[in-house]
Amino acid sequence: MIDFRTEPSRYRHWKLEFHGPVAHLIMDVNPEAGLFPGYELKLNSYDLGVDIELSDAVQRLRFEHPEIRTVVMRSGKENVFCAGANIRMLGKSTHGHKVNFCKFTNETRNTIEDATQNSGQFYMCAVNGAAAGGGYELAVACDYIMLVDDRRSSVALPETPLLAVLPGTGGLTRVTDKRRVRRDRADVFCSVEEGIRGKRAVDWRLVDEVVPPSQWHDRVAQRAAEFAAKSDRPADAQGVVLPRVERTEEGDTIRYSTLTVELDRATRRATITVNGPDAPVPTSLDAAKSADFWPLRMARDLDDAVMHLRLNEPELGLWVFKTQGEAAAVLAYDAFLEAHAGDWFIREVRLFLKRLFKRIDVTSRSLIALIEPGSCFAGTLAELAFAADRGLMFEGTRQGDNHKPAAITLSSLNFGAYPMGNDITRLQARFWGEPQSIETARAQIGTALEADAADDFGLITNAYDDTDWDDEIRILTEERASFSPDALTGMEANLRFVGPETMETRIFGRLTAWQNWIFQRPNAVSEAGALKRYGSGIQPEYDRNRV
């Protein structure tokens, strides 16, 4: 069982140091502390356990340390920055674990970039030693890279010549799209084992600056201070401590403070029921600044549930989203998030919700939203319905049930606060090519739209009354379970993202296609393949046919 819950006192691979407005995030991987037995994490190589800690550290820096304006990522070891993903781990892992590992790694790096772009917390990387493969990809997630000019330190993406795979956690895409490295130079860079160093690395835009060893520490401190001076983060604000997410497991039920997950292994389905607010909106901004603030607590619970299901329950291919509670309570919190959008804490909560919904968007599961009497698909929680592949609504009321008819209610946050990876809202994706439908929906903000109206406005897939509801849901779930999981993954990944491409959508699209394919090819993973023979001194055997 892989647990994504951690905290600094439990870290085995990362250290944090604080120097006024500058934090140093130091990678010092414990070789003996791999997530699974059978490999050593030598040379600051990493596995999923290392990335879980990194993700937690990045999140805590944003919420617990508003005073931090620059984060310097560096190595805690001499002469090596990071050797990338551990090859022995990759050779021993299942295909599904490898791909999920790459996906989570990318999401963490996107979070680093999001902090620089939207939170005023600038990430720079100080590369002292070799940064190879995923090590360089870690550096490229930062927006400024410094490289010591000591004839030993270099940057490299050697996966293609060494491992018969590719820099699939965003490396290729970030080199061309973010660093703007010329295509032919990128081809050379990705084809040499030894990497590139010194002035050439700057000329090719692989790094931003090379520094003589004698000036290294002073120059890093100088750059960190310069970036910190440009930030709008408050110098004197009190951070919000993030306690460990609590959950209990009773048989096939997982309970969090804001949601419940029911596992049905017979139908290969997980039902996630999110509870609306259990407390009124805080009376002041200061009163909101707590890990108990409902939008933050719900986001942390749901984020943990998503990652738990992704890695630990891979056969549950259908996720059903439900909600229960008062729509008015959700809308009141949305109004609070909108009214205080300029505050650093509220900004972080909104950005976290954005990243959570993005994580759901790229999850390789069929997503169904069931909008029933007593549900609260309103505002922020309505994003779950719009993220789903299908949204089904109960028409009218159930016999003997005193709940009001099911409804969807929009808030202003549905129109820009939570963009997808392609930088458009889920409503824009839903109504691609129909700008008038967006404006029609916007005019309904605050109105509880029952089945007929929700259908007329295009916000749901189908509506069924009490007579047909149970049968239609059963038929849908049985049909979905009968399809090929691979075909569904490809279909859903294509249909969820319409319109513009961004660096982020290209990374995940290429991850889905390239890595799913290459990680199953014998050239990489057979007993005679590159991953299995790496370090043995025996050349891998390749099927030379181009496919």
Asked if pLDDT for residue 511 goes beyond 80, the answer is no
The mean pLDDT of 96-111, rounded to a whole number, is 93
Tell whether the torsion through CA atoms of 205, 358, 296 and 54 is positive or negative.
negative
Give the per-residue pLDDT at 509.
85
pLDDT band at 490 (very low <50, low <70, confident <90, very high): confident
Asked if the model's pLDDT at residue 220 lies above 80, the reply is yes
Average pLDDT over residues 254-267: 97
Q: Tell me the C-alpha distance between 240 and 290, whole Å.
A: 6
Q: What is the pLDDT of residue 269?
A: 96
Q: What tens digit of pLDDT does each residue of 26-49 get?
A: 999 999 999 999 999 999 999 999
**Protein fold of 10-228:** 2-enoyl-CoA Hydratase; Chain A, domain 1 (3.90.226)
Given a cut of 80, is residue 513 above it in pLDDT? no
Q: What is the pLDDT of residue 406?
A: 96
Cα separation, 276 vs 290, whole angstroms: 18
Give the pLDDT of residue 5.
Answer: 97
Question: 183 versus 164: which is more confidently predicted?
Answer: 183
3-class DSSP state for residue 298?
helix
Instruction: Say whether pLDDT at 326 is over 80.
Output: yes
pLDDT value for 135: 96
Q: How far apart are CA 167 and CA 170, in angstroms?
A: 6
Mean predicted confidence (pLDDT) in 366-395: 98
- Is the pLDDT at 512 greater than 80? The verdict is no
Model confidence pLDDT, tens digit, residues 268-302? 999 999 999 999 999 999 999 999 999 999 999 99
| pLDDT at residue 486 in the model | 87
Residues 6+ apart with CB under 8 A from 80: 43, 44, 129, 130
**What is the pLDDT confidence band of residue 488, given thresholds at 50, 70 and 90?**
very high
Name the region of 452 (left: φ>0; alpha: ψ -120 to 50; beta: rest): alpha
- What residues does each domain of the chain span? 10-228, 248-495
Q: What is the pLDDT of residue 510?
A: 80
Say whether pLDDT at 143 is over 90. Answer: yes
Count of CB atoms within 10 A of residue 240's CB? 21
The pLDDT > 70 percentage for the chain reads: 100
| Most confidently predicted of 151-165, 411-425, 494-508 | 411-425
CATH 3.30.1280.10 fits domain 248-495: no
H or E segment at 435?
A: helix 435-442
pLDDT at 325: 97
Common-topology check for domains 10-228 and 248-495: yes
Pairing, β 209-211 against β 253-255: unpaired
Residue 70 is predicted with a pLDDT of: 98
- pLDDT computed for residue 200 by the predictor: 97
Q: Point out the least confidently predicted range of 346-360, 391-405, 445-459.
A: 391-405
Residue-level pLDDT at 414: 98
Average pLDDT in the chain? 95
Range of lowest pLDDT (157-166, 175-184, 254-263, 386-395): 157-166
Is the pLDDT score of 520 beyond 90?
A: no
Tokens 């181009």 found at: 546
